């Protein structure tokens, strides 16, 4: 089978997500934290009764997915924490963090486009999506929501690469802005590095690679540094951990990514 090739120019800003959804403004009445009892009951059933078993089956059967080194999560016992991962799949990236703990809800920071599909916004938020704020008020509510989830000892997943590069086997450079959250809340973080591998045996009938993710950490904020320096240090530590994981394992390149030459390089 001929390998698919994707040409890129900008590792920070190019986006190759298969589903192109226009990001719409959040409604004026959008609530980051909803205390309505019927919503909370519906959220419990949507997540733990419906989504969790379905997610497990999809990750295990469709992706042949598993997470290695999960034991390190026990080091963060008694506190909430952040998880940072490489962004290489739409559905798999949304599902994978939910396999870390069976009886605890994981939340995922998402772009506004994730809540822009009419009719499913409420369901998506029930599954743990926390949209980035756009206005000042939304940004304040976003931070308050993160604090609430962390204070309730939940995990929050963040993809600092921001854009999806399907099945990409390397780690792209990313900014340090999202690392201010564990700094300000003084909680640990983990790196979750997704890698791709060739299927074997009867599973080789599908050319799509299987997923193995590796958890590393915890990484703690350096409270002896000023916030800006501490943010950069934490970013560098997690980035380096992801680089080491992705390069220490022989991966299967399902899609080949080639950087286009700029006009000055031609």
pLDDT, tens digit, 9 for 90 and up, residues 135-178? 999 999 999 999 999 999 999 999 999 999 999 999 999 999 99
Q: In this structure, are strands 106-110 and 129-131 parallel, antiparallel, or unpaired?
A: parallel
User: What's the mean pLDDT in 51-68?
Assistant: 90
Q: DSSP assignment, residue 147?
A: H
Q: Which of 85, 90, 102 is nearest to 159 (CA)?
A: 85
What fold is seen in the domain 48-255?
Glycerol-3-phosphate (1)-acyltransferase (3.40.1130)
For the chain, what is the total number of helices (H) and then of strands (E)?
7, 9
Listed in sequence order, the DSSP H helices in 98-212 are: 121-126, 136-151, 180-185
Q: Is the pLDDT of residue 179 over 90?
A: yes
d(CA 41, CA 119) in angstroms, rounded, equals 19
160 φ/ψ sector (left φ>0, alpha ψ -120 to 50, else beta): alpha
pTM for the whole structure: 0.92
CA dist 25 to 1, 132, 212, 218, Å? Answer: 42, 11, 35, 35
74 φ/ψ sector (left φ>0, alpha ψ -120 to 50, else beta): alpha
% of the chain exceeding 90 in pLDDT: 64
Q: Label residue 67 by pLDDT band (50, 70, 90).
A: very high
Q: What's the pLDDT score for residue 265?
A: 56
Longest pairwise C-alpha distance within the chain: 62
Q: Supply the mean pLDDT for the chain.
A: 90
User: What's the mean pLDDT in 62-70?
Assistant: 91
Tokens of 195: 């890698």
CA dist 104 to 80, 126, 149, 158, Å? Answer: 11, 14, 11, 17
Between 118 and 31, name the one with better pLDDT: 31
């Amino acid at each position: 089978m001929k390998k698919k090739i994707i040409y890129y120019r900008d590792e920070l800003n190019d986006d190759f997500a298969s589903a192109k959804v226009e990001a719409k403004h959040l409604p004026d009445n959008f609530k980051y934290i909803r205390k309505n009892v019927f919503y909370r009951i519906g959220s419990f059933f949507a997540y733990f009764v419906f989504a969790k078993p379905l997610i497990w089956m999809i990750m295990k059967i469709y992706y042949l997915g598993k997470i290695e080194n999960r034991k390190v999560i026990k080091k963060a016992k008694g506190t909430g924490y952040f998880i940072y991962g490489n962004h290489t799949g739409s559905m798999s990236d949304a599902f994978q963090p939910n396999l870390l703990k069976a009886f605890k809800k994981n939340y995922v920071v998402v772009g506004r486009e994730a809540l822009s599909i009419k009719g499913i916004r409420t369901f998506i938020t029930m599954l743990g999506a926390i949209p980035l704020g756009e206005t000042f008020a939304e940004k304040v509510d976003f931070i308050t929501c993160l604090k609430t989830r962390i204070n309730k000892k939940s995990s929050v997943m963040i993809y600092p690469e921001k854009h999806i590069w399907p099945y990409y086997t390397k780690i792209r450079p990313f900014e340090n802005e999202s690392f201010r959250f564990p700094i300000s809340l003084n909680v640990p973080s983990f790196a979750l590095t997704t890698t791709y591998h060739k299927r074997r045996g009867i599973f080789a009938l599908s050319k799509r690679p299987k997923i193995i993710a590796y958890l590393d950490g915890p990484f703690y904020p350096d409270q002896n540094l000023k916030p800006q320096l501490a943010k950069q240090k934490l970013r560098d530590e997690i980035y380096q951990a992801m680089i080491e994981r992705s390069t220490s394992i022989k991966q299967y390149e399902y899609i080949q990514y080639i950087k286009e030459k700029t006009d000055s390089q031609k």
